[in-house]
Structure 1
């Protein structure tokens, strides 16, 4: 082979290699797991950046905006030590707020974590939440998009179950404004996560934890002799945050 042909072939190979390297890069924005394995920690770059590692569990832990992966899950299993905000149940997540960009219309997705969990971000503005004992509950309506994606995206709970992540301690009933699924996390009882439908009865011989609001204690026949006053939980309502 002549030197001219050899040089041409080398140039082609370099272009192919460069294209292959570029094709193996994935765009991320904001805090996210480095590899998807808890022991590998988190990347803390807030601006849009690239990695040569594909996002693991991308269909449940991430949402995409303009081909950029945005992590919306609970960062606790990955060694996150920053400010944490306690949530309960399914709720909206606004991608443009998480990655701090200005848009004309909010890019709203939904978190499908069952029961109590953490996020690194506060409840987004222009979404309706109520607080009870420092736990955020979504108090708005669930749209059809949320219901349609529920069977697929609720699998995020299977992913996190393998990591045994710590959760906020919630020992009281959700506020009445919350319309999402109520899950007794860590209890070996079958539950139905479809919004608006009750959980099936537990199989015989299994333990059940009943979460009761303090205001309901006066109706507990086991405690009807206790006439002490109970402390009422304080609900804070946040609607139309700016």
Structure 2
């Protein structure tokens, strides 16, 4: 008769294996995305649908999901991205059907503050305006955008700890843009306005007329020739007398 102990041990092993398989479930991705949550680990460049065994890091802020597929919509530059880049400013819509094949636009929103990059151009059916090669969203923000803003806006906290190259923006956003305005590098002079309350100040005191007296000096030269017994001329001595006149 066999001992029940080996069966109990086998059951424990099966439970551990089942737990490991459950933890290593496949996570679906579409398009380029960070390998991990650390910029030093770089990017996965598979553009088509694929799976990984690790869950996306910062999944709530850097990714959007459609039919259980994770799509990275953040700025790829901190992760070493060197491909074509498109400069954006502020919050704007992102169309997920760039990566998944659907007939209608699946619109989500990017909550990056200020200037940032994406690997894709603005979606054609969304309203954007350009200024100095930077894309600004010119449409209205729906209620879903406002509802998700506190949760999705944490993307800026995540990126604040990384070295992020940003587009250089030197002009104010166009009037069609209605999103937040942050980190605009403008050095516009601010006019100085001085306000005075009450009666105007008295005029400055009148200066007294200055009287200047000019004196002229007349110099009279008298010449004397001194001769000695030997008939030699030793020199001339000038005596100067000054008379002052007042005018």
- TM-score for the superposition, normalised by structure 2: 0.69
Q: Which residue of 2 aligns with 1:137?
A: 136
Distance 2:124 2:181 in 1: 24
Provide, for residues 7-30 of structure 1, a one-character-per-residue CA deviation record: whole Å limited to 9, x for no partner.
998699569736733542311111
Tell me the SS of whatever aligns to 1:149. Answer: helix
Distance 1:211 1:109, change over 3 A: farther
Tell me the SS of whatever aligns to 1:28. Answer: strand
> Is the 8 Å Cα contact of residues 173 and 211 (structure 1) preserved in structure 2?
no
Q: Which residue of 2 aligns with 1:179?
A: 178
Equivalent residues in 2 for 1:92-103, closer than 5 Å: 92-97=93-98, 99=99, 101-103=100-102
Provide, for residues 133-189 of structure 1, a one-character-per-residue CA deviation record: whole Å limited to 9, x for no partner.
11000000000000111111111001101002110000110111111100026xxxx
Tell me the SS of whatever aligns to 2:84. Answer: coil
- CA-CA distance at 1:82 after TM superposition: 0.5
Q: 16-25 or 164-173: which moved more?
A: 16-25
- Greater helix fraction, Structure 1 or Structure 2: 1
Q: Which residue of 2 aligns with 1:229?
A: none
- Pair 1:120 & 2:128 matched: no
Distance 1:15 1:140, change over 3 A: same
Higher relative contact order (CA 8 A, sep 6+): 1
Distance 1:33 1:57 in 2: 10
Tell me the SS of whatever aligns to 2:135. Answer: strand
Distance 1:2 1:139, change over 3 A: farther
Q: Give 5+ residue unaligned stretches, structure 2.
A: 193-247
Q: Give 5+ residue unaligned stretches, structure 1.
A: 186-208, 223-242
Larger Rg, first or second structure (1 or 2): 2
Provide, for residues 42-85 of structure 1, a one-character-per-residue CA deviation record: whole Å limited to 9, x for no partner.
00111111112211111100011111111000000000011010
- CA-CA distance at 1:129 after TM superposition: 0.4
Distance 1:75 1:27 in 2: 19
Provide, for residues 214-236 of structure 1, a one-character-per-residue CA deviation record: whole Å limited to 9, x for no partner.
xxx8xx659xxxxxxxxxxxxxx
Q: Which residue of 2 aligns with 1:21?
A: 21
Q: Which residue of 2 aligns with 1:109?
A: 108
- TM-score for the superposition, normalised by structure 1: 0.70
Q: Which runs of 4+ in 1 moved over 6 A?
A: 5-9
> Is the 8 Å Cα contact of residues 27 and 52 (structure 2) preserved in structure 1?
yes
Q: Which residue of 2 aligns with 1:157?
A: 156
- Greater strand fraction, Structure 1 or Structure 2: 2
Equivalent residues in 2 for 1:188-203, closer than 5 Å: none
